[in-house]
Chains A and B, each alone.
Chain A
């Protein structure tokens, strides 16, 4: 019995480490390549969720929250493409004022957990060793991100002012990617980090990268502007307004939490530095790019492959692009779930580059993407309509997506770390609280670990569900059966609450909180989290009692009236 518990405990913690490893890797890669993905707010205190692997990177970008749930299967590789976007020179401007854009993958990161039942070198590697080795691997990854050629492009973007730099960096996260052409392969170098063993030697966490050895072909130093004539005067990303600009020192260091770029003056001339003297034009005037394809690229169809495109000004590729994206059938907007339409702002390319919201892209989602804690049966048509009515056409659902909602049991043992620790958010929270506390106490005794598996803040302004449920998913396999029952109960409750007329003030607040949840998973999930299943069931009983009471009273009234 103890051995079984230890094994399931070990397995649960391993899965938690693996899922957090994937998340942290994604965070490191994106925050080192995509300047716009950085959140605008900064916190001086390190959030507990940021302490994973003892590498505090700062507040997680909002875009990453929506990417939290994409990875359903730990065995699937996570492929992160870093895409350089440039305007094709010599093209005539279109109605949007832009020429065709060329996108080139300059880096492809592949993060994978490989598991093999039959391992040639089984060992007694516990999850603690795996965690310690992962710490070092992620340090190396962080260091490597700054050594590769693409980092120069990123720095150039970071320090670009209203004059712009003529290119942009986007990203794409998927579990499948089209292979490079022969020409591209020839221009790319490959590097693999030494993998980290996990799960008694049966598993391996590996990170590898293919990167362009040289970006000189792209003429990033002398890239044309977008278009060249117009100068932005009130560019939000200018040094005067950029909140990230901080105090220069002699090392031009970048320190946390204040990220520091070079001084507003032109950077000192180095032997191989790029000059920054380009004038940047306005963006697409707040509208989607004209060459946005109407082919089925944005249509949704069920596919086992999820693809998330990123970058603030991401546009779909034109046919002249190096890569064919036809294989990618899912696209998720970078904007936070159910975010409002892009805020009215000066319609400039450079400005829109800084915004986390992208040009609206209709995306397929399953409910799990909308609210990580909702392991619900396929929602009613009413909820589907609600999704469609979401602003800016950000999301649209298909029933095929609904049908792919996994069974709780299926997820709990495997990926419950990210999705939920139980079938219902309430149950998950209460249950995970108790399990988290026991884990934390146990781990604090071990001097090697000060803060893994820690209790995450219940912060309603963020999306706490992922990290909280993540920390509570240890031993998720054991709770699978209970979770499905709770999920069914909560599902029934939710359906009832949605369809029932408000009997009292509380119910209307509750249903509106439900709506708010579906409209904004980030804030409302906090409300969900605050309630436990027992509370919900009690409330259900109360509703039923009141309903019976009213019905009985109405019957009595009728009889008396008659």
Chain B
């Protein structure tokens, strides 16, 4: 089975915008991949005029928030302009078990790459209070610039959501049988990576046990996101 990849448009975000942007994108993807019975839940973003839809699974919400916390922590500790979150869906295949090993293989059938460019700010935001906004600079030009940037980001986020909708509808044949009718129907993993200068030095900060697999896949899929 082929693995479908979707590279989402890069987004330039401020620190305090990361959470909402990632929640919006991740939940929109999950809403299209939780094919069991869902009661959709509309969420209005605070920072943007965008409403996205969650599939109403509390467990998923918690996991997504945890991942976003990890991402924000990592950015604060290792500020890097370009960051990427990879959401992968896979099938669990049991390899032939021997006497001593019982290897479980993940067959990835879909991967989403969320590309986030974080504006470099010297002040990390403390704790989890990521809802706090930066202090507005005095002066009209700064606020105008901020408004313009915010409007651009909102438009880009719209484009990303449209991109997701387009992708999920155009590519449907690769979706495997649904193993779980509750919540997110397919096993998934979210990995966080930051792309450093050299493409070959790929730092995998994923908490998945299959980091090497991810690295191999990166090379095989030829995913060359070079820094500008």
Q: Find out whether the CB atom of A253 lies under 8 angstroms from the CB atom of B36.
A: no
What 0/1 readout, one digit per residue, does chain A (448-468) give for beta carbons within 8 Å of chain B? 101100000000000000000
What 0/1 readout, one digit per residue, does chain A (114-152) give for beta carbons within 8 Å of chain B? 000000000000000000110111011011101100011
Q: Is B137 an interface position by the 8 A CB rule?
A: no
Q: Is A392 an interface position by the 8 A CB rule?
A: no
Q: Find out whether the CB atom of B49 lies under 8 angstroms from the CB atom of A152.
A: yes
Q: Is A256 an interface position by the 8 A CB rule?
A: yes
What 0/1 readout, one digit per residue, does chain B (159-173) give for beta carbons within 8 Å of chain A? 001100110111010
Question: How many residues of B sit at the interface, in one of the four size bands?
Answer: 35 or more
A28 to B: closest C-beta gap in Å: 10
Residues of A within 8 A of B131 (CB): 250
Q: Which of A57, A136, A139, A252 contacts B44 (CB 8 A)?
A: A252
Distance between Cα atoms of A54 and B183 in the complex (Å): 11
Q: Which of A135, A151, A253, A270 contacts B43 (CB 8 A)?
A: A253
Within 8 A of A (CB), among B135-166: 147, 150-151, 154, 158, 161-162, 165-166
Q: Find out whether the CB atom of A142 lies under 8 angstroms from the CB atom of B53.
A: yes
Q: Which residue of A lies closest to B179 (CB)?
A: A447
Q: Find out whether the CB atom of B31 lies under 8 angstroms from the CB atom of A139.
A: yes
Q: Is B196 an interface position by the 8 A CB rule?
A: no
Residues of A within 8 A of B46 (CB): 251-252, 268, 270
Q: Which of B32, B38, B56 contacts A140 (CB 8 A)?
A: B32
**15 more A-B residue pairs beyond the given contacts A147-B51, A447-B181, with a C-beta to C-beta distance below 8 A:** A46-B39, A55-B37, A136-B35, A136-B168, A142-B31, A147-B161, A155-B44, A194-B169, A194-B170, A251-B44, A252-B46, A271-B151, A447-B179, A448-B177, A450-B36
Q: Is B87 an interface position by the 8 A CB rule?
A: no
What 0/1 readout, one digit per residue, does chain B (17-53) give for beta carbons within 8 Å of chain A? 0000000000010011001111111111011111111
Q: Is A291 an interface position by the 8 A CB rule?
A: no
Distance between Cα atoms of A146 and B27 in the complex (Å): 14
13 A-B interface contacts by CB (under 8 A) = A56-B40, A57-B40, A132-B175, A136-B32, A140-B165, A143-B28, A143-B32, A146-B42, A147-B51, A254-B41, A256-B39, A447-B181, A450-B36
Q: Find out whether the CB atom of A140 lies under 8 angstroms from the CB atom of B42.
A: no
Number of A-B contacts (CB under 8 A): 112
Q: Which of B44, B48, B147, B168 has the most CB of A within 10 A?
A: B44
Q: Which of A146, A151, A251, A448 contacts B178 (CB 8 A)?
A: A448
Q: Is A27 an interface position by the 8 A CB rule?
A: no
Q: Find out whether the CB atom of A256 lies under 8 angstroms from the CB atom of B41.
A: yes
Distance between Cα atoms of A51 and B38 in the complex (Å): 9
Q: Is A273 an interface position by the 8 A CB rule?
A: yes
Q: Find out whether the CB atom of A271 lies under 8 angstroms from the CB atom of B150.
A: yes
Q: Find out whether the CB atom of A147 lies under 8 angstroms from the CB atom of B158.
A: yes
With A251-B44, A450-B181 in contact, do A137 and B169 touch (Cβ < 8 Å)?
A: yes
With A54-B35, A136-B172, A194-B166 in contact, do A270 and B40 touch (Cβ < 8 Å)?
A: no
Residues of B within 8 A of A252 (CB): 43-44, 46
Q: Find out whether the CB atom of A140 lies under 8 angstroms from the CB atom of B168.
A: yes
Residues of B within 8 A of A451 (CB): 37
Residues of B within 8 A of A448 (CB): 177-178
Distance between Cα atoms of A268 and B53 in the complex (Å): 20
Q: Is A558 an interface position by the 8 A CB rule?
A: no
Count the A residues whose beta carbon is within 8 Å of the partner chain — how many? 41
Q: Is A255 an interface position by the 8 A CB rule?
A: yes
With A447-B177, A450-B181, A451-B37 in contact, do A146 and B53 touch (Cβ < 8 Å)?
A: yes
B114 to A: closest C-beta gap in Å: 17
Residues of B within 8 A of A54 (CB): 35-38, 181
Residues of A within 8 A of B161 (CB): 143, 147
Q: Find out whether the CB atom of A255 lies under 8 angstroms from the CB atom of B56.
A: yes
With A147-B158, A271-B151, A273-B49 in contact, do A255 and B39 touch (Cβ < 8 Å)?
A: yes
Residues of B within 8 A of A152 (CB): 49
Q: Find out whether the CB atom of B40 lies under 8 angstroms from the CB atom of A142.
A: yes
Distance between Cα atoms of A257 and B151 in the complex (Å): 33
Q: Which of A57, A147, A250 has the most CB of B within 10 A?
A: A147
Residues of B within 8 A of A144 (CB): 165
Within 8 A of B (CB), among A233-285: 250-257, 262, 268, 270-273
Q: Find out whether the CB atom of A253 lies under 8 angstroms from the CB atom of B28.
A: no
Q: Which of A139, A193, A255, A271 contacts B147 (CB 8 A)?
A: A271
Within 8 A of B (CB), among A328-362: none
Q: Which residue of A lies closest to B166 (CB)?
A: A194
